[in-house]
Amino acid sequence: MPLRSTTRTNLVDLVIEQMEGLIADGEWPVGTKIPAEPALVEQLDVGRNTVREAVRALVHTGLLEPRQGDGTYVRASSGFGAAVQRRLRRAGDLETFEVRACLERDAARYAAQRRTDEDLAALRATLAERDRAWKSGDLAAFVDADMDFHRTIAAAAHNSVLAELYEHLSDALRSTLQSVIGAPVPDSVRNQYDEHVAIVDAIEARDAEAAEAAALAHLAEGMAALHEGARDAPHRPKGTQE
């Protein structure tokens, strides 16, 4: 949806509406930087103050995030997603992981019941990419690949609300995964390759019970790793930095 010139009276609300539409439609994907203020002023044919007020309003709702010296980025694709992320910023890793367990358990079950051949091929591909990233030693790539793997399971469940909710949890889930990887546990627990293979095998076999059990076994190991890390970490008041 291209930006269009705005001529009606309530310019700020109209600019906000256009920006929300660009975000919701994926023209401005989550994680990307929006055009700079001069470009927005030119494309929208409004004044700088109008653009600034609209951006400020979307920052307040949580859809946009200003980064000092870098620009403004899309943080969430909807008001609901922004609200979820605001709440998750006040949650600990263990709380977030418990919510993840609920979602991934049901996602695995539904994926086993509903997956298509295309879904299965995508799962096998993301599993292979996850394994390649682990073997390369690139932990950032491994985290990305693991997130893609679980997003693919959520997509294979063919429940748009579940998939959207999982996507809104992505930032917090990334944090929990990084905590598991950083925990003082064996590499087999940090990687959990066999556990991920078991999930895919159960989905391929359309065995919903086995898929749910495999997902829960995988998540139980991750939960134990988080507990281990919490015991070994020095106590710090919540919200403080090292």
Residue 84: is it exposed, middle or buried by C-beta count within 10 angstroms (0-12/13-18/19+)?
Answer: buried
The whole model's pTM is what? 0.66
CB 85 within 8 A of CB 168: yes
Contacts of 30 (CB under 8 A, 6+ apart): 23, 74, 75, 76, 77, 167
Q: pLDDT tens, 45-80?
A: 899 999 999 999 888 878 898 998 899 998 877 776
Rg (CA), the chain: 21
The pLDDT of residue 218 is above 70: yes
Residue-by-residue DSSP string for 87-100: HHTTS-HHHHHHHH
Nearest CA to 153 out of 184, 130, 181 is that of 130
Where residue 212 falls (left for φ over 0; alpha for ψ -120 to 50; beta otherwise) is alpha
- Which has more confidence, 146 or 30? 146
> Which tens digits make up the pLDDT trace of 84-133?
766 766 777 778 778 888 889 999 999 999 999 999 999 999 999 999 99
Residue 200 makes CB contacts below 8 A (sequence gap 6+) with 120, 123, 124, 127
Average the pLDDT over each of 69-78, 127-136, 138-147, 208-217 and give the range with the smallest value.
Answer: 69-78
Q: What is the spatial distance between Cα 120 and Cα 54, in angstroms, rounded to a whole number?
A: 43
Mean of pLDDT values over 127-146: 93
